[in-house]
Amino acid sequence: MSHDGKFEFDSVQDEKSIQTFLAALTEGFGRGRVVLRSEAEEIVLTPGALVNFGVKAKRKDGESKMTIKIAWKDARTQLAAGERTLQVES
């Protein structure tokens, strides 16, 4: 990851449009780069060789919810490389 950051997206989708987002994310994982942009702000996530992957689901009173969680620790060497790059640029 090149720098700290936060990205949020909250929307209403249908069964077709949700697939386009999921497919884009799958493709991002395949390339090892998940790029998230909101206006000029961009976060690039580089999933590690090993990731924690969790799926939670619940259904109650006619409402369903599914949470997918993917987390990993960024490699230290990569962070250091990022810091060095920043020093050169400044």
Partner 1 sequence: MITFEGLEENFTFMVAEVERQVRATSSFLDAPSHALYDRIVGRDDYIDNLKTVIENKCYGHFHKDIGPGGLDKALANRVRAIQVMCVNLERVADFCVNVVQQTNYLTDHAFLHGYSYKEMFTEIEACLARLLATFQQADISGALSVCRAEYGLDRMYKVGFDRIMGELRTGKNVQNLITVLFIFRYLERIGDALLNIGEALIFSILGERIKIEQFEALQQTLTKTGFSGGLSSVDFKAIWGTRSGCRIGKVDSRREGQAAKPGVDPLGSIYKEGALKKILDEKAGLELWAATYPGLVADVYGFHEDGDKGSLLVEFLPGCNLDEVLLTAGEDVLQNALFILTQTVQDIWETTRRQEPVPAGFMAQLSARLPEVLQIHPGFSWPEREICGRIAPGTPELLAACAEVEAELPAPFSVLIHGDFNVNNMVYNHQSQRLHYLDVHRSRQQDYVQDVSVFLVSNYRMPVFETQLRQRINWMMAEFLSFARAFAHEARDETIEARMALALARSLFTSTRFELNPAFSRGMCQRAHYLMERVAEHRGRPWQTFRLPEQVLFN
List C-alpha distances in Å: 49 to 7, 33, 54, 65, 73.
22, 12, 16, 28, 10
Q: Which amino acid is at 41?
A: E
Nearer to partner 1, 11 or 77 (CB): 11
- With CB under 8 A, what is the number of residues at the site for partner 1? 22
Q: Binding pattern to partner 1, positions 29-68, x when CB under 8 A? A: -----xxxxxx----------------------x------
Name the residue among 68, 26, 66 with its Cα closest to residue 47.
26
Which residues contribute to the site for partner 1 (CB under 8 A)? 7, 9-14, 17, 20-21, 23-25, 27-28, 34-39, 62
